[in-house]
Chain A
Amino acid sequence: MVELDNQKEEPIPSDYNEDSDDSDSTQHSDESDFEDSSADKDGDSSSGSSDSDSDSKSELEDGSPAQDNSGDSEDAESQDEDDVKSEGGSEGSDIHQEGVGGDESDSSEDEVAPRNTIGEVPLKWYEDEPHIGYDIKGKKIKKKEKEDKLGSFLANVDDSKNWRKIYDEYNDEVVELTKDEIKIVRKLMKNQAPHTDFDPYPTYVDWFKWDGAKHPLSNAPEPKRRFIPSKWEAKKVVQYVRAIRNGSITFDKPKEEDDAYLLWEDDSGLTEKANHLAYVPAPKQKLPGHDESYNPPLEYIPTQEEINSYQLMYEEDRPKFIPKRFTSMRSIPAYENAMKESFERCLDLYLCPRVRRKRLNIDPESLKPKLPNKKELKPYPITCYIEYKGHEGAVTSISVEASGQWMASGSSDGTVRVWEVETGRCLRRWEIGEAVNCVTWNPLPDIHILAVSVGQDVLLLNTGLGDEEEQQRIKELLLVDSPKASEETGKKAPSVSWLKDDKHDGIRLRHLKTVTSVEWHRKGDYFSTVMPAGESRSVLIHQLSKKLSQKLPFKLHGLAVRSTFHPSRSIFFICTKKTVRVYDLLKRKLIKTLYTGLKEASSIAVHPGGDNLIVGSKEGKLCWFDMDLSAKPYKTLKCHPKDINNVVFHRSYPLFASCSDDSTAYVFHGMVYSDLNQNPLIVPLEILRGHANSNGRGILDCKFHPRQPWLFTAGADKLIKLYCHY
Chain B
Amino acid sequence: MKLNKRSVAHYALSDAPADHTGFLRTWGGPGTPPTPSGTGRRCWFVLKGNLLFSFESPEGRAPLSLVVLEGCTVELAEAPVPEEFAFAIRFDAPGVRPHLLAADGQAAQEAWVKALSRASFGYMRLVVRELESQLQDARQSLALHRSTPWKVNASHRKPQAPDRSSPAWENGHFLPRDHSPGCFMRDVGSRPAGRDLAEWELQGPASLLLSRGQSPVSPETSCFSTLHNWYGQEIMELRQRWQQRVQGSQPEHEQQDRP
The finding on whether chains A and B are genuine partners in a shared complex, rather than unrelated, reads: no
B contact residues vs A (CB 8 Å cutoff): none
Q: Which residues of chain A have a CB within 8 Å of any CB of chain B?
A: none
